[in-house]
């Protein structure tokens, strides 16, 4: 019997990554943070990462019931909210005393709609969840039911209706959070090896080091952390990396922050400490185009940075302005050039099917992606996610299939006026082909794949991408 079981729902790889799924898993960041703080507060916690364990829904529910927890806590982005609702239903069908709690970006964006759509979810956690989870467990544990009203940041069922408590304040100093509980996950080295597109050396691991982003792109669902910027200190991050190095012998890191480079002073300090302490870890991160400069890039390279991913989104200035990307085409070109000049590889994330997108702007985007200094390319479909500006505007700009379960960025749920689903699917595949079937990207791939230790993984993941590109549709 444990107090709370934290669950990452089962999801197929194609459900998550579409046909280019390279078979990679990332430790569920929310659950390892929650597990750490709940254990520190004295609760017994177990994590079931049904995705990494490749469990079915039935196996997941059986495993929850076997632990007969007080609470089952499920994390869900929009594409998995239906599965979270189903898990709640099946668990409560077998033991009605278990409280079903759901948290994450989806219920944070649309709490009332979600509680209405999934009647077996008892409590929704809105926004940042660590403090809320501890207060909630205290309120529902022990003898005698205590009111949930004092627990900020939740929505719960009350007298046949719904009650929302006060907004949960953000944690001011992230270093007050105990180190994420990687130890609560299934064997890290066998369940969480990332795709070759994201790591440089094996074994590898993912971490997040900050919360919030200053930008206001209209398609971005930043409902949980918003535009409030907070970071772990360089000291806290070094402690985490050393722990991962010692315990799991990791040699490469994928830093998953939305915008790692925006926190300049912390980044500089972290890089210097990595260099001075000869950490010998290579790492990749993501940045906004406007945030890089030659001096910082040189320091990042020296500290082990091998790749920076940029949210470029489109090659059309009109589209960039429409989605409030806050950057200019020439700035993109120079940021990528300076990144490469520093010896760091560049990856560009593009979106096809923006509101007001046309065949001409898609062509502009493909030509732009081939013209700029890019080593790696990813293009996904525009998904008007709940809680975004795009979600409220989508129906005025095209056909919007507002099906939450299909919102996995690999399915065109939104078709701009003047385009068809076939246009989007065939042009996105053409974009991948035109980008990758060139000497540069092919040489890049072969160079990285030629390292004996990684050949098998490159071959396996590469083959999958190659087949996807060759298939006509």
Binding residues (CB under 6 A) for ligand B12: these are 16-17, 26, 28-30, 33-34, 73-75, 77-79, 101, 103-106, 109, 125, 128-130, 133, 208, 220-222, 224-225, 256, 258, 385-386, 408-409
CA torsion sign, 252 to 256 to 258 to 261?
A: negative
CA distances from 45 to 104, 172, 385, 435 (A): 18, 25, 31, 46
Between 203 and 384, CB nearer to ligand B12 = 384
CA distance 252 to 194: 10
The least CB distance from residue 87 to ligand B12, in Å, is: 11
The least CB distance from residue 171 to ligand B12, in Å, is: 8
CA distance 203 to 199: 9
Residues contacting residue 29 through CB under 8 Å, at least 6 positions apart: 180, 206, 208, 256
The least CB distance from residue 143 to ligand B12, in Å, is: 23
Between 47 and 372, CB nearer to ligand B12 = 47
Within 10 A of 443 (CB to CB), how many other CB atoms are there? 10
The least CB distance from residue 82 to ligand B12, in Å, is: 12
Between 75 and 287, CB nearer to ligand B12 = 75
**Residue in 170, 168, 186, 241 with CA at minimum distance from that of residue 208:** 241
The least CB distance from residue 457 to ligand B12, in Å, is: 17
The least CB distance from residue 272 to ligand B12, in Å, is: 25
The least CB distance from residue 302 to ligand B12, in Å, is: 25
The least CB distance from residue 134 to ligand B12, in Å, is: 9
Between 6 and 372, CB nearer to ligand B12 = 6
* Cβ 286 vs Cβ 317: under 8 Å: no
CA distances from 24 to 17, 20, 51, 101, 265 (A): 9, 11, 11, 27, 32
The least CB distance from residue 394 to ligand B12, in Å, is: 14
Query: How buried is residue 318: exposed, middle or buried, by Cβ count under 10 Å (0-12/13-18/19+)?
Result: middle
The least CB distance from residue 438 to ligand B12, in Å, is: 25
The least CB distance from residue 123 to ligand B12, in Å, is: 8
Between 78 and 307, CB nearer to ligand B12 = 78
Between 78 and 231, CB nearer to ligand B12 = 78
Between 288 and 373, CB nearer to ligand B12 = 288
Between 214 and 418, CB nearer to ligand B12 = 214
Between 105 and 462, CB nearer to ligand B12 = 105
Between 136 and 362, CB nearer to ligand B12 = 136
* Cβ 77 vs Cβ 105: under 8 Å: yes
Between 29 and 430, CB nearer to ligand B12 = 29
* Cβ 3 vs Cβ 10: under 8 Å: no
Between 404 and 435, CB nearer to ligand B12 = 404
Give exposure, 378-387, as e/b (b: 16+ Cβ within 10 Å): bbbbbbbbbb
The least CB distance from residue 76 to ligand B12, in Å, is: 7
Angle at 302 between CA 299 and CA 305, to 5 degrees: 90
């Amino acid at each position: 019997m444990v107090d709370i079981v934290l669950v990452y729902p089962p999801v197929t790889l194609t459900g998550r990554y579409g046909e280019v799924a390279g078979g990679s898993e990332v430790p569920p960041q929310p659950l390892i943070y929650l597990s750490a703080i709940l254990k520190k507060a004295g609760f017994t916690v177990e994590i079931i990462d049904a995705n990494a364990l490749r469990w079915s829904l039935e196996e997941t529910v059986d495993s929850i019931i076997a632990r007969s927890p007080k609470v089952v806590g499920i994390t869900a982005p929009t594409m998995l909210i239906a599965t979270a609702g189903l898990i709640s239903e099946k668990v409560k069908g077998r033991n009605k005393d278990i409280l079903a709690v759901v948290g994450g970006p989806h219920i944070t964006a649309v709490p009332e709609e979600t509680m209405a759509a999934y009647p077996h979810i008892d409590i929704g956690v809105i926004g940042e969840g660590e403090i809320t989870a501890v207060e909630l467990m205290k309120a529902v544990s022990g003898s005698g039911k205590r009111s949930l009203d004092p627990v900020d940041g939740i929505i719960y069922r009350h007298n046949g209706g719904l009650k929302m408590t006060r907004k949960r304040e953000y944690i001011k100093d992230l270093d007050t959070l105990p180190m994420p509980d990687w130890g609560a996950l299934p064997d890290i080295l066998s369940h969480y090896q990332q795709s070759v597109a994201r790591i440089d050396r094996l074994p590898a691991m993912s971490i997040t080091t900050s919360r919030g982003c200053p930008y206001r792109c209209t398609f971005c669902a930043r409902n949980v952390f918003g535009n409030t910027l907070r970071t772990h200190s360089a000291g806290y991050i070094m402690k985490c990396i050393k722990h991962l190095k010692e315990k799991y012998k990791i040699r490469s890191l994928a830093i998953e922050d939305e915008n790692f480079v925006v926190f300049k002073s912390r980044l500089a300090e972290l890089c210097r400490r990595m260099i001075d302490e000869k950490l010998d870890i290579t790492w990749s991160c993501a940045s906004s185009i406007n945030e890089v400069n030659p001096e910082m890039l040189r320091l990042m390279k020296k500290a082990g940075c091998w790749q920076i991913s940029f949210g470029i989104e489109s090659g059309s200035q009109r589209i960039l302005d429409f989605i409030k990307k806050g950057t200019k085409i020439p700035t993109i070109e120079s940021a990528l050039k300076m990144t490469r000049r520093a010896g760091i590889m560049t990856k560009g994330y593009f979106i096809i099917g923006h509101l007001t997108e046309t065949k001409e702007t898609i062509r502009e985007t493909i030509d732009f992606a081939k013209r700029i200094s890019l080593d790696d390319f990813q293009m996904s479909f525009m998904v008007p996610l709940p809680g975004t500006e795009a979600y409220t505007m989508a129906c005025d700009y095209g056909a919007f299939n507002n099906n939450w379960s299909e919102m996995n960025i690999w399915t065109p749920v939104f078709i701009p006026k003047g385009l068809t689903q076939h246009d989007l699917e065939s042009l996105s595949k053409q974009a991948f082909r035109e980008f990758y079937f060139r000497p540069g990207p092919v040489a890049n791939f072969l160079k990285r794949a030629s390292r004996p230790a990684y050949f098998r993984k490159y071959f396996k993941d590469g083959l999958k991408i190659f087949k996807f590109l060759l298939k006509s549709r």
